Structure 1
Amino acid sequence: MPSARTPEALRLADEFRRLIAEHMWAPGDPLPSRTQIGQEHGVGENVVRRAQELLISQGVLEGRAGSGTYVAEPRQRVRVVRSSAREQPGVAPFRADMKALGRQGDWESRTDAKVPAPADIAARLGLAEGDLCVRTTYEFLANGKPVQLSTSWEPCDLTAGTLVVLPEGGPHAGAGVVNRMAAIGVTVSHAVEQPEPRTATAEEASLLGIQKATLVTHIRRTYYSDQGRPVETDIVVPTALCEIVYEIPINP
């Protein structure tokens, strides 16, 4: 499949952005037909389509099945703060983040026990492929609307038989990885995060209420104990809904 990022498509996408910035096209307005746009700008309809697909993936435009392409309505983005200060005893980090923004933070989750670790997860957790894990998928909500997804993988041999074996069950439900691990004598000393931009999968787009192929940031986050034992969590954040901010403490 040809890339949407051809020079002609990129130039046309920039022209679309200019028209929106100068209020020639307003939020909610339908775009002219691809034939009309192509004739006005001296390009083929495939170039117009690629420019539109690029801006749809970035949340600037939106496609409506059977109706056409429209200028997207601006949406206030949720600020997602990544900071060593996020983990506080007895406080769920996401709820604390949303409370600071004046929003109600909540989540829905599903936990599956004894799931064989796929090769990539096993490598990041220091396990053998197929070793059993507890996998929990999350859909995080701000004022009832989905804003991010995550999948937590925890080795069964780390939490099996303890009160925290189910992240969303028992007396420490929803307390976050750091606080839950502390309850079983495992001290989480640090985390490593690797953000990577990519496009949303069909399943992610459906869960987040965004267009398929919209840009998201996939954060590969790994928590480590003070003994070097890793616990892994992945986060998927749609760029049209959230902005990611890293807060870096400075020790004087």
Structure 2
Amino acid sequence: MVDSAPYLVIAEELRGRIVNGEFAPGDRLPSVAELGRAHDVSPSVGARAYAVLVEDGLVISRHGAGHYVRNPESPEVLVRRPRPHAEDSPFAQGTAEQGSVGTWRHNSTTAVADAATAARLEIAEGDPVVRTEYVYLADGEPVQLATSWEPLAVTGSSLIVLPEAGPYAGVGVAARMRVIGVEVGEAVERVRARSATRAEATALGVAHGAPVLFVERTYYDQSNGRPVETADVVMRGDRWVAEYGRRPARS
């Protein structure tokens, strides 16, 4: 009989301790360094063990904060639906409707548009933009990433120039643009499946190469067709399904 790989042995031991109630939902689990010392292996072996439990849905990984027992009451699958007229954050509204608490971390900087971003925003390469990076969490677990770009020519002289600062922070693109008289309607989205990059996997707490949904989204001014925001959205493939269209009411 061939012995199991060390990381699988550690994963099964942790699984048993979780199932038996030694670790309760929300509890912080031993660090990879602690696992290494306890089993006389390198920390990388402990990291591989946690990757198995993350993929199995027993454990969540929080970047920079360790590994935790997943709360089984959190929705297993979140449904992403278009919300063109949402006044609040579409993410927060959508997760709340599904019994989850949606929060996010963000960082905005001014930048210049590279060739790809300029093409999507229909501006000149090198034009100034506001670039914002997001990590979205459902019940404290990272489930989605996004990077957005907005032309300073559109928002630069207004109170909405920084998406997550000022009186209109956190209300979503459509509601923010409405403040400056721009109606964006429903975003144009291109959706495809791919594997998570190493950086994305780390931020989302999944294994490198795990499946993700990748959305290239652009909002347009409905009055003149000008792009006013574009974003790359990366969603955990094991936590999201995307739903489009609306079922008519029964007669």
Q: TM-score, normalised by structure 1?
A: 0.69
Could you tell me how far 1:249 is from its partner in structure 2? 2.9
- Partner Cα separation in structure 2 for residue 137 and residue 80 of structure 1: 22
- Residue equivalent to 2:208: 212
The answer to whether the 8 Å contact 2:86/2:172 transfers is: no
Check conservation: 1:92, 1:175, Cα contact below 8 A.
Answer: yes
Alignment of 1:81 with 2:64, yes or no, is no
What secondary structure, in the 3-state scheme, does the structure 2 residue paired with 1:157 have? helix
Classify the secondary structure of the residue corresponding to 2:235.
strand
2:233 match: 235
Unaligned runs of 5+ in 2: 1-7, 14-42, 59-74
Number of residue pairs the alignment of both structures matches: 189
- Equivalent position to 1:66, from 42, 45, 49: 45
Aligned equivalents of 1:132 and 1:251: distance in 2? 43
**C-alpha distance in 1, partners of 2:45/2:169?**
44
2:103 equivalent in structure 1: 106
Write the mapping of 1:171-250 to structure 2, written as runs, cut at 5 A: 171-226=167-222, 227-230=224-227, 231-240=229-238, 242-249=239-246
Closer/same/farther in 2, CA of residues 210 and 236 from structure 1, 3 Å limit: same
Q: Which moved more, 1:141-150 or 1:199-208?
A: 199-208
More strand by share: 1
Letter in 2 for 1:130: G
**3-state secondary structure, aligned to 1:175:** coil
Q: Using the TM superposition, give the Cα deviation of residue 87 of structure 1 relative to its aligned residue in structure 2, in angstroms.
A: 3.3
Aligned mates of 1:187, 1:156 — CA distance in 2: 17
The change in CA–CA distance for 1:167 and 1:154 in structure 2 (over 3 A counts) is same
Counterparts in 2 of 1:187 and 1:86: CA distance versus 1, 3 Å = closer
Structure 2 CA distance, aligned partners of 1:182 and 1:174? Answer: 14
Please give the root-mean-square deviation of Cα atoms over the aligned residues, in Å: 2.3
Conserved in 1, the CA contact under 8 Å of 2:91 and 2:102? yes
TM-score normalized with structure 2 length: 0.69
- Given that 2:84 and 2:186 are in contact with CA atoms closer than 8 Å, whether structure 1 keeps it comes out as no
Q: 1:189 offset after TM fit, Å? A: 2.5
* Aligned residues with identical type, % of pairs: 38
Query: Deviation at 1:251?
Result: 7.3
Deviation at 1:127, TM superposition (A): 1.1
